[in-house]
Structure 1
Amino acid sequence: MEPLKGKNIVITGASGGIGAEIAKICAGQGANLVLLARRLDKLQLLQKDLQQQYQVQVDIVQLDVSNTDMVKEVFTNIFETIGQVDILVNNAGFGVFREAHEATIDDIKGMFNVNVIGLMACTSMVLPKMRKRCFGHIINIASQAGKIATPKSSVYSATKHAVLGYTNSLRMELADSNVYVTSVNPGPIATNFFTIADEKGTYVKNVQKFMLQPEYVAQKVVAAMLTRTREINLPRWMNMGSVIYVLFPRLFERVGRRAFNKK
């Protein structure tokens, strides 16, 4: 079976990290891709690489998802070009690890505009057509930070809590439509995300041995495409922490305070 062959997949934040790795695996399975990101130069390199290796259509478009007018324009053009979107992967996002009193208003607005509003804007562009066709899959890259709030990531964690709330509500709205909705909740991944998020390098140093490889996360995401997968939680042992957190929040916060403050 080749469930992705000939399918049209749109990926935001596709210029690097798990977005680029998802694109590579999907291209290898015969999917046609539309790759979106702010860094056009990186998209061009990825496009060239994928087209040389695989006989699939790879379109690239420069897009800052925080610009909702641009989102509307880009997706309108996508529909005119490829006709339909079968799978949307909302991967664009960033974080800044600072204590709440140190977070600037620009930081706060920036994270919410990209991580939450941008994700919703992209989703709102594909939803009507997916509902009409009774077919499609929306995959939102959230985070374990959306399940377990930790110090020094109050704003980032808040954005990912919002993504999970939106995703869970959306899944229930689409339950009878044959449009699937999946949240992906990874722990720390070895990507350039931490170039911005962890300016001092302290967090990376402390969790490096636990970091997930982007290729591994991408494989799990692609394997779930066009299946009724509710959540992908990685690594599994970290997700157990979120279960304990729900059951025993006060104990969890007291015991885990020292570890959390290693950021």
Structure 2
Amino acid sequence: MLSTDRLKGKNIVITGASGGIGAEIARLCATRGANLVLLARSIDKLKSMKQDLTKYGVRVDVHRLDVADTDAVQAVFSKVLADIGHVDVLVNNAGFGVFRHAHEAPVDEIKSMFDVNVIGLMACTGMVLHGMRSRRIGHIINVASQAAKIATPKSSVYAATKHAVLGYSNSLRMELSDLDVYVTTVNPGPIATDFFNIADEQGTYVKNIKRFMLQPEYVAKQVVDRMLTPVREINLPRWMNAGSIIYSLFPRTFERLGKRAFNQK
């Protein structure tokens, strides 16, 4: 059984912390005694969370940050490091997607998805890497997706960004393997959050897969339980991850048999 006091007094930074699994991860970390730095575009939501989470007797700092703005990433993380000294765990949770056929995706939307999901994640990671390397301890948790393993119709751009996150994480993990700095990717299937308010404009995808959707509280617990442990990936749900393994072995057959399900967006 994993120790629940492993996070006590640790400094944990979470991007995209104002809602969904980011907010749930923050709440669970606070209950386990971790100090938090919460980053998101909605500062009002973060301030409200701060009022609620400080009841656990932990330090909670909040900053407005759009991770797509790399200058802002540098400025905010520089202030964070000056305030708290070091980061023990970075959770790169900020991200968004839009379900669209490839020929319908405007270039600005494509760039925006890459700026948030990939460049922003890399920029935030780069701001904590030097400290983790020099201290020879730390954990970088990158929230990817099962879309990083199984691309489906109408998610070409989103899947491409998550494939990039997976590739970056795998390379980074090898770079840090001798330094006791861990890198974990979280690859969940659909989660019942506001993500789909943007991603699924027509509401058809949510309607079709609602009964299979993960709850953010469950996903958050799987992540927090594994903080500061050398876990390579967290794949949820297990049956969907089994599908990704079969897909890697028999891609043509998997795409043919799964065509009907994949087109439910």
TM class, shorter-length: over 0.9
**Other-structure match for 2:17:** 14
* Paired amino acid for 2:205: Y
Q: Residue 109 of structure 1: SS of its match in structure 2?
A: helix
Q: Is 1:242 aligned with 2:219?
A: no
Number of residue pairs the alignment of both structures matches: 262
Residue 61 of structure 1 corresponds to 63
2:112 paired residue number: 110
Equivalent residue in structure 2 for 1:156, among 155, 158, 173: 158
Aligned partner letter, 1:8: N
Tell me, what secondary structure is at the counterpart of 1:117?
helix
The one-character-per-residue Cα deviations of 1:185-209 (angstroms, maximum 9, x if unpaired) are 0000000000000000000000000
Runs of 4+ off more than 4 Å: none
> Aligned partners of 1:131 and 1:4: how far apart in 2?
19
Q: How many Å separate the matches in 1 of 2:53 and 2:131?
A: 28
Q: Distance in 1 between matches of 2:217 and 2:178?
A: 33
Counterpart code for 2:16? G
Partner of 2:41: 38
Moved more, 39-48 or 13-22: 39-48
1:233 matches 2:235: yes
Q: Which amino acid aligns with 1:40?
A: I
Q: What are the superposed Cα offsets for residues 151-190 of structure 1, whole Å, 9 maximum, x if unpaired? A: 0000000000000000000001101000000000000000
Q: What are structure 1's unaligned runs of at least 5 residues?
A: none
Q: CA RMSD in A?
A: 0.5
Q: Percent identity?
A: 72
| TM-score (norm: length of structure 2) | 0.98
**How many angstroms does 1:45 deviate by?**
1.0
- Cα offset, 1:106, TM superposition: 1.1
Mapped to 2, the partners of 1:71 and 1:127 lie a distance apart of 14
Match of 1:50 in 2: 53
1: CA distance, partners of 2:8 / 2:156 = 41
Give secondary structure in 2 for the equivalent of 1:190. coil
> Aligned partners of 1:37 and 1:98: how far apart in 2?
25
Distance 1:76 1:40 in 2: 18
Alignment of 1:1-263 (within 5 A): 1=3, 2-51=5-54, 53-263=55-265
Scaled by the length of structure 1, the TM-score of the pair is: 0.99
Measured in 2, the distance between the counterparts of 1:123 and 1:29 equals 24
CA distance in 1 between counterparts of 2:134 and 2:93 reads 24
